[in-house]
């Protein structure tokens, strides 16, 4: 058996499993998107592309799409900076580095609801710790509502979500860093390269494959985040944090427009699958070029 | 041979029918009273009922309000729904919309004759010629404060909006907030805003013909008053639900709040000084003479088409409403759940609870306030299906956010609410 056929044979069980658990719901969503079902469990009639016309002409959809794009970008930037810093630190040799590498994962394994309760309490103006701390440090002169304004709510949510996810990203980057041969750094040092030059000429280029994979996985994961947003702001204030997953939930289960929610889901799936396909091709091309 | 077969068939038939008769009716009750102490009290009551009624066995399956709007319709569609389901008025319209609830006209009539329902508690469940649920307990928003804080500031309990604002301004000092009003897009904000709307003459959001009547001067005035008070609230109140308001009051950071009850948190997390805890009707507009409020009666729907199960459920509900049992049901959360029946309001089993005894004057005030309660979408005697989506999407709260967060005028915010409600009602 040739190598590609053998490879296909190995991935077939996984593909069948995915088809069973994802294919059918996705197909149902597509069927629903061509109907006019309201409350879950009821039936509807065939309406063709009416829902697609409604959704694509709806500003709420495009606003949520814009917020999702902002959410993904902001999370990517913040998480990459936080994770890279921590990964570089954990790649050094110092006493307790193994404990630190294990300890760092803590925020990632804590259940989302616990993370949300912790942060809501910390940021509260009634008994929270952050406001008094900022007042003592002279940063603010009176308590502020971190979720009181549109910009503040989105920025605070990005910080909470990044705090939760950056350890995972940091560990992935750390794995990438440990694969970089140490003799490259040794040779660079002998040639007189400083820390910054070693980072820009060795670490950063050789970390690219890891960052590319993280970029794809991270984008897909970030885009689909619902729990943190829903539990902290429920899409507010005044829709400021209403991303596409939140809009889908609100449309289906608060507005009782299941078919419209299914339509947004289908459009979102197409968008994410296109992104994944293009990103994977770019990654393959990049590997082949190397 | 033929006679023998007939005899065997006859005996088998008798045995089978007697076996069917002996089989107890098993009922599943979904409720949304998730806190462990409420589940425990419910189980105690169910154990007692099941022991006294071997032919009807009821089991509870606690659910969450956050999920039930999606979960219940899906369960009924899959044929795995409960036989009895707790409800609030707008949720009933959703379940009725999928034809999963059966009328309880006779039972409601019998229970009313025997125990006397407080009219405001059953009215939201009576429309389209039927009664769709049996009220179980009532909740009404009141204004909570500390007597000592008002005395120290030299102010009387506010009765009007202008008095309330003046009081809140005086109480806002030393890092404390005179009032704690939410502005989140959430049910709690719907409730507090509507509490002011009721007191500003804007209780009706529907016209008789089902069109929306939200945009009117009374609603705008209510929004303006709310906005003025909200400015004196903590800055993070735009993300508050019930818990944060209670916490703000318990920590004495908020001078006055609108809440169903703060007794539990005040007792367990604050001073627990019953003499200092004040409760009063929600202040009314300066031109009005009497206070009203928003009140929610939670009810129990029958959601089984099986006649034997319906009969069993009626036995259970009749048992639950007996004053000796009903008081213990209400005090699964003492000081929060209020009686919906006249004899329940006098039941020894209710008033003998230690917390209710300790805060008797507060509970009496809450019961009195509840009698003037209204609920948005259920005030005109007609109920329109769109109220489920209007309530579910928190349109009142969303409109308020247009003013509080986006800086729009009260008139524009109310106009937005009118348009959004009309859009929902038109679908």
- For the segment A60-92, what is each residue's pLDDT rounded down to a tens digit? 999 999 999 999 999 999 999 999 999 999 988
Q: Which residue has the tokens 């033929």?
A: B2
Beta strands in A63-129 (DSSP E): none
Tally of domains within chain B: 2
Enumerate the domain spans of chain A: 60-289
Residue B16 lies in a domain: no
Confidence label for B17 from pLDDT (cuts 50, 70 and 90): very low
B7, with CB counted inside 10 A (0-12, 13-18, 19+), is exposed
A271/B contact by beta carbon, under 8 A: no
ipTM above 0.85, yes or no: no
Nearest to B238 among A41, A124, A145 (CB): A145
Which residue, of B370, B394, B415, is where some domain finishes? Answer: B370
Report the range out of A125-139, B57-71, B255-269 with the highest average pLDDT. B255-269
Determine whether the interchain pair B236/A145 forms a contact, defined as Cβ–Cβ distance below 8 Å: yes
Give the C-alpha distances (Å, rounded to integers) separating B303 from B202, B306, B378. Answer: 34, 9, 22
User: Where does residue B351 rank: exposed (0-12), middle (13-18), buried (19+ CB within 10 A)?
Assistant: middle
Give the C-alpha separation, A13 to B314, whole Å: 52
pLDDT of residue B397: 95
Neighbours of A91 (CB within 10 A): 16
Q: How does residue B5 score in pLDDT terms, banded at 50, 70 and 90?
A: very low
- Asked, for residue B4, whether it belongs to a domain, the answer is no
Residues listed for chain B: 427
- With respect to residue B400, please indicate whether it lies within any of the assigned structural domains: yes
Interchain CB distance below 8 Å, A127 and B253: yes
* A125/B389 Cβ within 8 A: no
Contact A254 B394 (CB under 8 A): yes
Q: What is the pLDDT of residues B337-356, one digit of tens each?
A: 999 999 999 999 999 999 99
Residue that is last in its domain, among B370, B395, B412: B370
Judged by a CB distance cut-off of 8 A, whether residue A119 touches chain B is no
Q: Quote the pLDDT of residue B381.
A: 77
Q: Measured between CB atoms, which of A39, A147, A254 is closest to B73?
A: A39
Whether residue B270 sits in one domain with residue B188: yes
Average of per-residue pLDDT values in chain B: 91
B265, B398: one domain = yes
Nearest residue to A224 (alpha-carbon basis) of A250, A252, A245, A251: A245
B135 with B81, same domain?
yes
Q: How far apart are CA B308 and CA A124, in angstroms?
A: 52
Q: Which of B329, B354, B370 is the last residue of a domain?
A: B370
**pLDDT above 90 as % of chain B:** 79
Mean pLDDT value of segment B237-250 = 92
At residue B20, the pLDDT reads 43
- Which residues in chain B are closer than 8 Å to A123, comparing Cβ atoms? 236
Specify if B11 maps to a domain.
no
pLDDT band of B22, cuts 50, 70, 90: low
B255 and B403 inside one domain: yes
CB contact under 8 A, A40 and B388: no
Asked whether residue B9 is assigned to any structural domain, the reply reads no
Domain at B366, CATH number:
3.40.190.10
How far apart are the CA of B264 and the nearest CA of chain A, in angstroms?
18
* A60-289: CATH, from 1.10.3720.10, 3.30.390.50, 3.40.228.10, 3.40.50.180: 1.10.3720.10
Same-domain check for residues B29 and B112? yes
Instruction: Answer whether A238 sits within 8 Å of B175, measured CB to CB.
Output: no
Residue A197 in tokens: 């030059």
Domain of B36, in residue numbers: 25-139+296-370
- Which residues of chain A neighbour B173 with C-beta distances below 8 Å? none
- Across the interface, whether the CB atoms of B236 and A123 are under 8 A apart is answered yes
Give residue B6's pLDDT. Answer: 46
Q: What's the rounded mean pLDDT across residues B111-123?
A: 93
Residues B204 and B76 in one domain: no
Closest Cα partner for B375 from B387, B365, B386?
B387
Residue B14 in this model has a pLDDT that exceeds 70:
no
Instruction: Give the best residue of B182, B235, B270, B419 to mutate against chain A (max A CB count within 10 A).
Output: B235
> A232 at the B interface (CB within 8 A)?
yes
Residue B143 has pLDDT above 70, yes or no: yes
Which residue(s) pair with B257 in the sheet? B144, B180
Binary contact (A254, B237; C-beta < 8 A): no
Closest partner residue to B235 among A127, A143, A255, by Cβ?
A: A143
What element of type H or E holds A33?
Answer: helix A24-33
CB contact under 8 A, B401 and A237: yes
CA distances from B259 to B141, B264, B367 (A): 5, 12, 14
Record: contact B402-A238, CB cut-off 8 A: yes
**Mean pLDDT of all residues belonging to chain A:** 91
Residue B302 lies in a domain: yes
Domain-located, residue B14 = no
Residue where the block lists tokens 């065939």: A46
The single residue listed with the structure tokens 């007697």 is B18
Cα–Cα distance, A149 to A156 (Å, whole number): 10
pLDDT tens sequence for chain A (290 residues): 567 888 888 999 998 898 888 888 889 999 999 999 988 878 889 999 999 999 999 999 999 999 999 999 999 999 999 999 999 999 888 898 888 888 888 888 889 999 999 999 899 887 789 999 999 999 998 889 999 899 999 999 999 999 999 998 999 999 999 999 989 999 999 999 898 999 999 999 999 888 888 888 889 999 999 999 999 998 989 899 999 999 999 999 888 899 999 999 999 999 999 998 998 888 788 777 76
Q: What is the pLDDT of residue B19?
A: 42
Residues B385 and B401 in one domain: yes
- The whole-angstrom separation of Cα B335 and Cα B332 is 9
The phi and psi torsions of A97 (rounded to 5 degrees) equal -65, -35
Helical (H) or strand (E) element with A192:
none
Q: In Å, how far is B69's CA from the nearest CA of chain A?
A: 7
User: Does the residue B1 lie in any domain?
Assistant: no
SS3 sequence, chain B?
Answer: CHHHHHHHHHHHHHHHHHHHHHCCEEEEEEECCCCHHHHHHHHHHHHHHHHHCCCEEEEEEECCHHHHHHHHHHHHHHCCCCCEEEECHHHHHHHHHCCCCECCHHHHHHHHHHHCECHHHHHHHEECCEECCEEEEEEECEEEEEHHHHHHHCCCCCCEHHHHHHHHHHHCCCCCEEEECCCCCCHHHHHHHHHHHHCCCCCCCECCCCCECCCCHHHHHHHHHHHHHHCCCCHHHHHCCHHHHHHHHHCCCEEEEEECCCHHHHHHHCCCCCCCEEEECCCECCCCCCCCEEEEEEEEEECCCCHHHHHHHHHHHHHHCCHHHHHHHHCCCCCCCECCECCHHHCHHHHCCHHHHHCHHHHHHHHHHHCCEECCCCCCCCCCCCHHHHHHCCHHHHHHHHHHCCCCCHHHHHHHHHHHHHHHHHC
- Give the gap in angstroms from C-alpha B96 to the nearest C-alpha of chain A: 11
SS3 for A46?
strand
A91 close to B (CB below 8 A): no
A190-197 long-range Cβ contacts below 8 angstroms, 24+ apart: none
Is A255 within 8 Å of chain B by CB? yes
Q: What is the pLDDT of residues B272-319, one digit of tens each?
A: 999 999 999 999 999 888 999 999 899 999 999 999 999 999 999 999
Question: CA–CA separation, B163 vs B158, rounded Å?
Answer: 5
- Using the beta-carbon criterion (under 8 Å), do A254 and B184 form an inter-chain contact? no
pLDDT tens per residue across span B162-200? 999 999 999 999 889 999 999 999 889 999 999 999 999
Q: What is the pLDDT of residue B383?
A: 85
**Cβ–Cβ gap A40/B248 under 8 Å:** no
Tell me how close the Cα of A37 comes to any Cα of chain B, in angstroms: 12
Q: For residue B87, which of B33, B129, B46, B39 has the smallest C-alpha distance?
A: B33
Contact A234 B97 (CB under 8 A): no
State the nearest Cα–Cα gap between A259 and chain B, in angstroms: 13
pLDDT of residue A1: 57
pLDDT of amino acid A4: 82
The answer, for A146 touching chain B at a CB cutoff of 8 Å, is yes
Q: Give me the DSSP letters along A200-251.
A: IIIIHHHHHHHHHHHHHHHHHHHHT--HHHHHHTTT-STTTT--HHHHHHHH
Query: What pLDDT sits at residue A258?
Result: 93
Across the interface, do B389 and A255 touch by the CB < 8 Å criterion? yes
């Amino acid at each position: 058996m040739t190598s590609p056929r053998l490879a296909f044979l190995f991935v077939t069980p996984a593909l069948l499993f995915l088809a069973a658990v994802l294919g059918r719901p996705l197909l149902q969503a597509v069927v629903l998107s061509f109907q006019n079902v309201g409350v879950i469990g009821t039936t509807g009639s065939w309406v063709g592309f009416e829902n697609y016309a409604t959704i694509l002409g709806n500003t709420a959809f495009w606003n949520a799409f814009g917020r999702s794009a902002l959410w993904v970008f902001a999370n990517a930037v913040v998480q990459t900076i936080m994770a890279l810093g921590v990964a570089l630190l954990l790649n050094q040799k110092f006493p307790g580095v193994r404990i630190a590498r294990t300890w760092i994962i803590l925020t990632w394994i804590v259940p989302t609801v616990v993370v949300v309760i912790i942060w809501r309490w910390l940021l509260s103006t009634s008994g929270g710790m952050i406001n008094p701390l900022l007042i003592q440090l002279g940063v603010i002169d009176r308590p502020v509502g971190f979720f009181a304004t549109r910009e503040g709510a989105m920025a605070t949510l990005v910080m909470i979500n990044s705090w939760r996810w950056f350890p995972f990203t940091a560990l992935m980057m750390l794995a990438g860093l440990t694969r970089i041969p140490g003799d490259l750094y040794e040779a660079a040092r002998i040639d007189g390269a400083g820390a910054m030059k070693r980072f820009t000429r060795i670490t950063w280029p050789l970390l690219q494959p890891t960052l590319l994979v993280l970029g794809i996985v991270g984008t897909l994961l970030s885009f689909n985040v619902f729990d943190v947003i829903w539990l902290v702001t429920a899409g507010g204030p005044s829709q400021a944090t209403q991303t596409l997953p939140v809009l889908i939930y609100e449309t289906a289960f608060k507005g009782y427009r299941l078919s419209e929610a299914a339509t947004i889901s289908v459009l979102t799936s197409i968008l994410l699958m296109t992104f994944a396909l293009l990103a994977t091709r770019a990654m393959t091309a990049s590997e082949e070029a190397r | 041979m033929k006679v023998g077969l007939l005899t065997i068939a006859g005996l088998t038939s008798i045995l089978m029918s007697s076996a069917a008769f002996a089989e107890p009716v098993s009922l599943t009750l979904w409720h949304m009273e998730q806190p462990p102490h409420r589940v425990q009290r419910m189980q105690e009551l169910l154990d007692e009922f099941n022991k006294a009624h071997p032919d009807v066995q009821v089991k509870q399956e606690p659910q969450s309000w956050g999920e039930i709007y999606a979960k219940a319709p899906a369960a009924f569609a899959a044929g795995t729904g409960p036989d009895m389901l707790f409800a609030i008025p707008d949720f009933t319209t959703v379940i009725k919309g999928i034809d999963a609830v059966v009328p309880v006209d006779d039972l409601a009539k019998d229970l009313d004759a025997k125990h006397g329902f407080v009219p405001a508690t059953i009215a939201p469940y009576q429309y389209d010629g039927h009664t769709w649920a049996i009220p179980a307990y009532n909740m009404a928003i009141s204004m909570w404060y500390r007597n000592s804080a008002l005395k120290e500031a030299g102010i009387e309990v506010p009765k009007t909006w202008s008095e309330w604002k003046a009081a809140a301004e005086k109480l806002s000092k030393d890092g404390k907030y005179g009032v704690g009003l939410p502005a989140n897009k959430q049910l709690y904000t719907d409730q507090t805003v509507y509490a002011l709307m009721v007191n500003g003459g804007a209780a009706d959001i529907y016209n008789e013909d089902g069109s929306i009547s939200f945009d009117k001067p009374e609603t705008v005035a209510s929004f303006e008053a709310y906005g003025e008070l909200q400015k004196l609230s903590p800055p993070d109140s735009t993300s508050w639900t019930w818990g944060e308001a209670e916490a703000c009051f318990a920590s004495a950071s908020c001078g006055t709040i609108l809440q169903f009850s703060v007794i539990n948190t005040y007792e367990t997390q604050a001073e627990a000084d019953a003499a200092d805890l004040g409760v009063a009707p929600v202040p009314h507009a300066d031109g009005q003479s009497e206070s009203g409020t928003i009140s929610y009666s939670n009810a129990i729907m029958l959601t089984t088409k099986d006649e034997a199960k319906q009969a069993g459920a009626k036995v259970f509900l009749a048992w639950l409403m007996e004053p000796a049992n009903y008081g213990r049901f209400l005090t699964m959360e003492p000081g929060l759940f209020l009686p919906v029946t006249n004899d329940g309001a006098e039941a020894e089993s209710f008033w003998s609870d230690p917390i209710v005894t300790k805060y008797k004057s507060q509970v009496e005030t809450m019961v009195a306030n509840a009698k003037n309660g209204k609920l948005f979408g259920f005030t005109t005697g007609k109920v329109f299906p769109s109220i489920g989506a209007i309530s579910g999407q928190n349109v009142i709260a969303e409109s308020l956010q247009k003013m509080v967060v986006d800086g729009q005028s009260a008139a524009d915010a109310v106009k937005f609410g009118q348009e959004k409600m009309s859009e929902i009602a038109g679908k």
